[in-house]
A and B are shown apart, each in its own frame.
Chain A
Amino acid sequence: MKKLNLISAPVGIALGLMAFPAIAMEGNIFYGLQLEQFEYRYGDEGEKSAVWDGDAFAGTDELKLRWQSNGEQDLREDSFETLENRLVLQTPISDFFDAKAGVRLDTPTGQDRWYGTVGIAGLAPQWFEVDADLFVSETGDGSARLDIEFEGLLTNHLILTPSLETDIAFSDDREIGIGQGVSKVELGLRLSYDLIDRAVSPYIGVAHERKLGKTADFARDEDEDRDATYVVIGMRLMY
């Protein structure tokens, strides 16, 4: 219940902004909602989880408020492996890149964390969609995340999307099981089909997660999995 409130707060703010277009300069206000990943994962060791990764935005060409949310719910234990919400302001800094800054709140099962965050998001040459973020947590630990995605058009409706997400910690945060160094890598390959224009695109794919270095050691100490491979089935949604 507490978590629901935490999620709904940013939505409320976003909706509030939309309801008062007068706040924002002269430009038109646009909004959008996208769930890049909304999937069921079945792991090689029988893991079953639900995963989402999406964002909603409202704003002008010059300034957008964006709410990013992702999480992984272990369906067997009914616990949240990860649960992140970010609220950032985003503004263009070049033809193809935006800068963003804001806050992030992690509320998985277990220890919560607040972060301050800055980052960039945009389109790199050769059509790589790139998100690069820096975080500083309430405990003073720094970390970074790089997220790269490529949409390969097999046809104009059938799209193969490889993705890579890497977390790097600049210091240990034992409490949440993070060790200094490259802490986590997630590789994905999803094959989607645009069923209802770009609004509904079901997909299947595979994902592989691996904890690395000290983080992996911490996981072993806690008797947790250090890596897992999943078959995923889901739907990309856009509105």
Chain B
Amino acid sequence: MKIETAAGMLLAALAVAVLSLPAMAKPYELTVDYVEIDTGDTKTTGIGYNGSSPGPTLRFREGEEAEITVTNNLDETTSIHWHGQILPYQMDGVPGISFPGIAPGETFTYRFPVRQNGTYWFHSHSGFQEPDGAYGSIIIEPEKREPFRFDREYVVVLKDKHPHSGARIMRNLKMMPDYYNRQQRTLGTLMDDVAKDGLSATLSDRKDWGNMRMTPTDIEDVQGFTGLINGMSPEQNWTGLFKPDERVRLRFINASAMTYFDVRIPGLEMTVVQADGNNVQPVTVDEFRIAVAETYDVIVQPKEDRAYAIMAESMGRSGYAFASLAPREGMRAEMPEPRTDGPLLTMADMGMSHDNMPGMDHGAMDMTSQPEMAGMDHSNMPGMDHSAMNMGAKPADPFYASGSGLIPKAVNGGKFLSYADLKAQKPRYPERPAMREIELRLTGNMERYVWSINGIKYEDADPIRLQYGERVRFTFINETMMAHPMHLHGMWSMLDNGNGKWNPVKHTINVNPGTTVSFETEVDEPGEWAFHCHLSYHMASGMFRKVIVEGGPETALNTNANGN
């Protein structure tokens, strides 16, 4: 059955190849292999492509027909998902939704038209192969000139490489959700807080958290990783060369399983020109936070004849990745001292904020604990109301709960990128109102390590049904205390950040704790798609939905593929 389907697709793909006019890209061949991953500290067996992890950078040109032949040398089923690519759903690479997967020893040929440009990535969508090393990058050159200029470019892929296998991590989290959390509050922090805030305030704070049975340190579930840049640990020092005054394009990809990174290059401003493969109106920042599965392209212009540090500290400060930009080989930038001021969640992140600042106060709803959000005030959506916030010097980032402990600050006191800064360079679709709204509550139980949407795990949930041709507004209400990078396959996500026609076009939308975030989708790709939190262990434990697009030009959905 599997073989027949694969063969059928292969034949169909060949037929398309013969008949189609678009130029064929250079065909790629990828093998999926067990590989050794050496971070300097640890040597582990992982999974890679063509013998290495990360896999190669695949280059295409917009308008071409991509052909990638994937041979599975593992003894388990594998798959490759082309993250952010708009393609026929059978080529999307999600076992159980797009196709049956690639069985051990089998070869599958992916073939799809390349209809976009920018920085993307690919990864396995099977088991925990992606955390185990099965990822690589994609660069698609545009048909037309890009709205920016650079003299050279590098892919900068971030990864939270853990000494434990993904399956082991998942099992440990299920057994003990704080298994990997070594940033918990202790007797020492209790004493510090008593000294700082007084005994009664400290005890009252401990009591509040204790009553909820939650901890303000639940920011990074999986600590103990080594941050990698292009597969290299801080010690191994990946180095990108430049000549002073050159404009260097850095294509940042966060291929991590669980970790958000705060990225900076001390001494250089970074001009963000692309987010999730789509050009944005350039915005110059000192630091930015990259959620899991996002990409940001920045342009830097190092002018001095010295090495510059690329420093990527994890959001919870439990780890970091480091690399150098240098004028010559063999140079190592001076690594800035990693920040030790690990953030703590606040009641605002629990959705318990009671002040009246605009932002995303769901406290009232949590009190009434109504399952439906009938009373939700959409005027509190991020980016919708800045007027009340301009009272202070700088408006707080509206994409964090007011008073959130996660609000980032640039080390040098400068500009930290906000979602609110992202404006599409060229809107992909004409502006039109959404025809309906789908509210998705992001839910979970940290103690059980169960993650869900609307309180229902994937295996118990009905698919989300969309109609071809409609424009749908999705509204996430994050009722958990963790940030979730939500990724809709197959169709673009237009983040509503209050910029109207310039709302940025993304494939992964980060939703911070205690916030409500909306995006809109033009439902223009038929088929069946995955829609999930991109944190590997949240996805695997249920924060996942199947989306079915009904109608459209290719209505003949393969009914055999429906059962999952």
Contact = CB atoms under 8 A, between A and B. Distances in A.
A92 interface: yes
Nearest to B174: A30
Interface stretch (B25-33, B71-79, B425-433, B443-451): B443-451
A28 B175 CA distance: 13
Interface string B179-199: 110111111100000000000
A126 interface: yes
A198 B179 contact: yes
Contacts of B210: 125-127
Interface in B144-177: 170-172, 174-176
Interface stretch (A4-12, A75-83, A147-155): A147-155
Interface string A58-101: 00010000000000000000000000000000001001100000
A62 to B, nearest CB: 9
A153 B179 contact: no
B211 interface: yes
A32 B175 contact: yes
A226 B224 CA distance: 47
A156 B448 CA distance: 21
Interface in A148-207: 152-157, 197-198
Interface in A85-137: 92, 95-96, 123, 125-127
B187 A152 contact: yes
A154 B187 CA distance: 5
B213 interface: yes
B159 to A, nearest CB: 20
B179 A197 contact: yes
A229 interface: no
A26 B176 CA distance: 22
Contacts, number: 60
Given A92-B448, A155-B186, A197-B224, A125 B213 contact: yes
B445 A156 contact: no
Interface residues of B, number: 28
A32 to B, nearest CB: 4
B459 A96 contact: no
A156 B189 CA distance: 11
Contact of B213 (A26, A96, A154, A156): A96
Contacts of B187: 152-155
Contacts of A123: 213, 447
Contact of B447 (A25, A34, A96): A96
B175 A30 contact: yes
Given A95-B445, A154-B187, A238-B176, A28 B540 contact: yes
Interface string A27-55: 11011101000000000000000000000
Contacts of A156: 182-184, 186
A32 B176 CA distance: 10
B162 to A, nearest CB: 11
B207 interface: yes
A126 B211 contact: yes
A31 B172 CA distance: 9
A25 B459 CA distance: 9
B184 A61 contact: no
B457 interface: yes
A125 B211 contact: yes
A67 to B, nearest CB: 15
A61 B186 contact: no
A96 B448 CA distance: 8
Interface of A: 25-28, 30-32, 34, 61, 92, 95-96, 123, 125-127, 152-157, 197-198, 238
**6 closest residue pairs by CB, A with B:** A26-B459, A32-B175, A126-B210, A153-B186, A156-B182, A30-B174
Given A31-B171, A155-B187, 7 more contacts: A28-B170, A61-B448, A92-B448, A95-B447, A125-B210, A198-B172, A238-B176
